[in-house]
């Protein structure tokens, strides 16, 4: 099955996209997915201090969440970008971009309490990695 060039399909205008499949009405789309399984952490005191819990190397794994693969990721981030290049007018061009970072607003946790399994806060996070959802709008004017 072949895909007709963008400018020959109904409702399409010519576009400067690298891949015609991601270009509609001259709007370009790109995205980035970053996934991480999380770093295992040691439990207890690796110096073997008798007053502290015994060490268990790699005994704590951060909570895993679903994205494409069920319960596989401790870190998830999806960023997208839209760009529109407007036709040249009197030797000048205008382009607009819209970037959305962490579009699904995933809360990526860090700083887990993994020292003492008897502690009520064991396994709870006290900080996050990265930013919440963020929108960025930009323009380019060439003359």
Tell whether 69 is covered by a domain.
Answer: yes
CA distance linking residue 5 with residue 141, whole number of Å: 28
Tell whether 76 is covered by a domain.
Answer: yes
The domain total for the chain is 1
Tell whether 1 is covered by a domain.
Answer: no
Cβ within 8 Å of residue 91, ≥6 positions away = 143
Q: Is residue 46 predicted with pLDDT exceeding 60?
A: yes
**Burial (CB count within 10 angstroms: exposed 0-12, middle 13-18, buried 19+), residue 19:** exposed
What residue numbers bound the domain in which 26 lies?
6-142
Q: Is residue 58 predicted with pLDDT exceeding 70?
A: yes
- Which tens digits make up the pLDDT trace of 17-37? 444 445 677 899 999 999 998
Q: Is residue 5 predicted with pLDDT exceeding 80?
A: no
Buried b (16+ CB within 10 A) or exposed e, 92-130: eeeeeeebbbbeeebebbeebbbbeeeeeeeeebeeeee
99 or 6, which is more confident: 99
| Per-residue model confidence (pLDDT) at position 23 | 64
pTM: 0.70
Number of H helices, E strands in the chain: 0, 11
- Which tens digits make up the pLDDT trace of 67-124? 999 999 999 999 999 999 998 899 999 999 999 999 999 999 888 888 888 888 888 8
* Mean pLDDT comparison of 15-19, 39-43, 72-76, 136-140, highest-scoring range: 136-140
């Amino acid at each position: 099955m072949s895909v007709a060039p963008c400018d020959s399909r109904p409702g399409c205008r010519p576009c400067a996209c690298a891949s015609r499949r991601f270009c509609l009405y001259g709007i370009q789309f790109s995205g980035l997915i970053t996934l991480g399984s999380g770093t295992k952490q040691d439990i207890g005191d690796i110096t073997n201090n008798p007053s502290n819990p015994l060490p268990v190397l790699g005994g704590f794994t951060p909570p895993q969440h679903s994205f494409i693969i069920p319960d596989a990721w401790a870190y998830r981030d999806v960023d997208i970008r839209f760009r529109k290049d407007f036709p040249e007018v009197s030797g000048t061009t205008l382009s607009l971009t819209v970037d959305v970072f962490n579009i699904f607003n995933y809360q990526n946790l860090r700083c887990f309490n993994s020292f003492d399994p008897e502690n009520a806060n064991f396994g709870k996070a006290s900080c996050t990695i990265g930013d919440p959802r963020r929108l960025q709008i930009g323009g380019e004017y060439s003359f």
